[in-house]
Amino acid sequence: MALTSEAHVAFCNEGAIGRITLNRPKALNALTEEMCAAILDRLRRWATDPAVRAVVIDAVPGKAFCAGGDIRAIYDAGRKGDGSVMSFFRTEYRMNAAIRHFPKPYLALIDGITMGGGCGVSMHGPHRIASENAVFAMPETAIGLFPDIGATFFLNRLPGGIGMYMALTGVRIGVADAIACGLATNSVPSHDQPVLLQRLTESEAPEAILSELGQIPLGVGDMETHRPAIDRAFSASSVEEVLARLEREGEWGRGTASLLKTRSPTSLKVTFRQIREGATLDFASCQRLEYRIMTRMMDAPDFYEGVRAALIEKDQSPRWTPGGLDKVTDGDVECFFSPLDDTEFTL
């Protein structure tokens, strides 16, 4: 077994598999540009290596599989105002595309918190294997951003109003809901995941192994319980109408409406349009759309205010600009979607 480590991510060739292990537990395995670049480079090499029959990504034991991108590093780079922050997103998006188009089986062993960029390194592969500890979320609107990393594409593949619900609210869901909506393809207890790894090293087909391993007793998750209400509310034609419909959905609906009212109004309106537009776009077009939006988000105030409130001063009381949905105009939203002059995203 050959092992190398680059910027908090370890790689090894173990039998028939190439293995990627996220190894930044104190930061909940948050992704840096160096980590994304190293994963991208390794995937390109393994794609043509006949000794590698499949690739597995996992994380060192701890609370998280991957909590997303390194938000504080992105904040600091964005504050420079020189455009360099977009280098992280270009690298991350290219890594996401490499995962989606990887020519061999790609398996994500999801054991712990999985948010934002953590979904990016798992959702684009065909085998998304969640343990009983898995928790999923796209929480970007809470910090003045929007769900990127290809979420425009994969959230639109979820049933009913679930994609829009997760995108706007940022709620966390467990393994039962993840399996029910298709974010996760399999549930395997954490104690059985080493067995899965071992059998993969022996060149067994992933489908055959997964059909034999024990499954987690799932029950019905909270999100699935509220599916009818989610579908009714989040099929509305505007964020304002989503809120109005939620108010008619009893205690759960009123609580969800209250949650939405804490999110960045600009993020909510941009995200709503993003998800609606993504329903008709292919993966590459979704990535290009996300890059346009992110370029403008890095020049807007809400991301920096959201990070200040959540991570720097930690007062949990962001002061959004503007402060209400009624003050975010169609023109304001349109600015996030217009083509870039000479810096469109490309692979």
Alpha-carbon distances of 191 from 68, 212, 214, 245, rounded to whole Å: 24, 15, 10, 43
| Nearest partner of 86 among 272, 290, 271, 270, judged by Cα | 290
Write down the pTM of the prediction: 0.96
Structural domain of residue 253, as residue ranges?
Answer: 2-337
Residue 322 preceded by cis peptide, ω within 30: yes
For 63-91, write each residue's pLDDT tens digit. Answer: 999 999 999 999 999 999 888 899 999 99
Computed from CA positions of residues 147, 150, 153, 154, in that sequence, does the dihedral angle turn out positive or negative?
A: negative
Confirm whether 306 is a catalytic residue. no
pLDDT of residue 1: 43
Q: Which two tokens stand for residue 208?
A: 């055959």
Beta bridge partners of 69: 31
The residue type of 302 is D
Q: Identify the active-site residue in 33, 70, 92, 148.
A: 148
For residue 286, pLDDT beyond 70: yes
| CA–CA distance, 117 with 114 (Å, rounded to integer) | 8
Alpha-carbon distances of 183 from 61, 164, 319, 334, rounded to whole Å: 22, 14, 33, 30
For 176-202, write each residue's pLDDT tens digit. Answer: 999 999 999 999 999 999 999 999 999
CATH number at residue 177: 3.90.226.10
For residue 6, pLDDT beyond 80: no
346 domain residue, yes or no: no
For 200-222, write each residue's pLDDT tens digit. Answer: 999 999 999 999 987 888 889 99
For 175-199, letters b (16+ CB in 10 Å) and e give bbbbbbbebbbbbbbbebbeebbeb
SS3 string, 209-232, reads: HHHHCCCCCCCCCHHHHCHHHHHH
Q: Identify the active-site residue in 18, 68, 69, 221.
A: 69
Beta bridge partners of 3: 12
342 domain residue, yes or no: no
Q: Identify the active-site residue in 58, 140, 249, 290.
A: 140
Confirm whether 253 is a catalytic residue. no
Q: Residues of the chain with pLDDT > 70: what percent?
A: 98
Q: Identify the active-site residue in 117, 125, 144, 163.
A: 117
Chain-centroid distance of CA 102 in Å reads: 18
Confirm whether 69 is a catalytic residue. yes
For residue 159, pLDDT beyond 80: yes
343 domain residue, yes or no: no
Number of domain units in the chain: 1
Confirm whether 163 is a catalytic residue. no
Which of the four pLDDT bands, split at 50, 70 and 90, describes residue 4? low
344 domain residue, yes or no: no
| CA–CA distance, 189 with 20 (Å, rounded to integer) | 20
40 domain residue, yes or no: yes
The residue type of 26 is K
58 domain residue, yes or no: yes
